[in-house]
Amino acid sequence: MDDGGLAGIRGFLLDMDGTLYLGDHLLPGAAEFLGYCHKSGLGVQFLTNNSSKNRFAYAEKLNRLGIDAAPDDILTSGEATARYLRNRAPGARVALFGTPELERDFAEYGFTLDMRDPEYVVLGFDKTIDYAKLTLLCDLVRAGLPYIATHPDLNCPVPGGFIPDIGAMIAFVEASTGRRPDVIVGKPNRHIVDMAAERMALPVESLCMVGDRLYTDVAMGRSAPIRTALVLSGETKRADLADSPFRPDYVFRDLAELLDRLRDARNR
């Protein structure tokens, strides 16, 4: 797809870690891109697989970085997982392996957090996890309980490199139990795209997913009729494209280059 297709986009699903910022620093063009979208009437929904924080924490961070954002502008894989499970088992007892922020999300959606007699096991990006929790997680998964993960990311980009993400925990559990999650809700799965489109009141096919990972952000183009734009400001390098089965519609150095090309396409 050439850049002219950018002119038909009505809204952007915008990844955060590695796309909008790294650590506590905005990446080049982030503020300018968001300002242009606001002035041009283009929808923006911040869409992150990082379930270690909830939408309130992300809104606070974005505002601290100078980005005007409300909690409802943000959809995390953690909240999407809570919404997914509420539609199927409202009020269920859940063994939740996640941070206190993720626990608040699940409590807000009416679930009972129960590590002793759960009906479901949910694995999030748990930065509080220790060996005892990993052992319990494996025991519950091995017992055959329904097993849901918030997202599949292997690593989380941070200033200077990466830290292990939930994908590494999923691999640990699989090595011990032989099971992978029954459902993974976050990117690249269709569930989170439909939730974001509904919140934006826009059809999925009018949106573009912008992110730094091929196997989550760009892979959304296979699971939903959505355009994808890869930015090279986070996990993925240009050389990674050669061996990837996931092909973005667009590749940009960062949001600054996306903004330049978007302006050109809309001004033609």
- Domain limits, the chain: 3-47+187-267, 78-184
Structural fold of domain 78-184: Rossmann fold (3.40.50)
* Candidate CATH numbers 3.40.50.1000, 3.10.20.600, 3.40.640.10, 3.30.360.10; the one for domain 3-47+187-267: 3.40.50.1000
Alpha-carbon distance of 40 to 226, in angstroms, equals 20
Can you give the pLDDT of all 268 residues of the chain as single tens digits? 456 689 999 999 999 989 999 989 999 999 999 999 999 999 999 999 999 999 999 999 999 999 999 999 999 999 999 999 999 999 999 999 999 999 999 999 999 999 999 999 999 999 999 999 999 999 999 999 999 999 998 988 788 888 999 999 999 999 999 999 999 999 999 999 999 999 999 999 999 999 999 999 999 988 888 999 999 998 899 999 999 999 999 999 999 999 999 999 999 8
HEC assignment per residue over 3-49: HHHHHHCCEEEECCECCCEECCEECCCHHHHHHHHHHHCCEEEEEEC
For residue 71, give the DSSP letter. Answer: G
Q: What is the pLDDT of residue 2?
A: 56
**What does pTM read for this prediction?**
0.89
The Cα–Cα gap between 226 and 221 comes to 5
Q: Residue 3: what pLDDT?
A: 67
Decide if 3-47+187-267 and 78-184 have a common fold: yes
